Amino acid sequence: MDQATSLLQQAPFDRATVHMLCRVLEDGWAQISTAYTGPAAEKAGRMNVADGIFALVKAGQCDPEALKLYAVTRALSLHGRAASIPKRSSMKVSLPL
């Protein structure tokens, strides 16, 4: 079991709700998984989806489609922001001599 699934399974909800949350995670992840490459990115992406689901369900939302839409949109937005941050190795600095 991965960390994202574990987060949702430990949520303080009844079994049926926890099952639904895990199903939403899997459905949402299936929609966006190809945007993530590599184990670290996949782990972060799944956690972002799970965090989005958890945040919205804590706020009282229980519609699976609304949860999935929010979580997927949030995860892709965070992924896009992370991708736009330059990596140190690709940053070139020119210092005047």
Its pTM stands at 0.80
Q: What is the pLDDT of residue 91?
A: 47
Determine the Cα–Cα distance for residues 69 and 39; give it in Å rounded to an integer: 23
Tens of pLDDT along the chain (97 residues)?
A: 789 999 899 988 999 999 999 999 999 999 999 999 999 999 999 999 999 999 999 999 999 999 999 999 999 999 876 554 455 545 454 555 5
Task: For 52-78, give the DSSP string.
Answer: HHHHHHHTT---HHHHHHHHHHHHHHH
Q: Are 71 and 30 in contact (CB under 8 A)?
A: no
C-beta separation of 50 from 68 below 8 A:
no
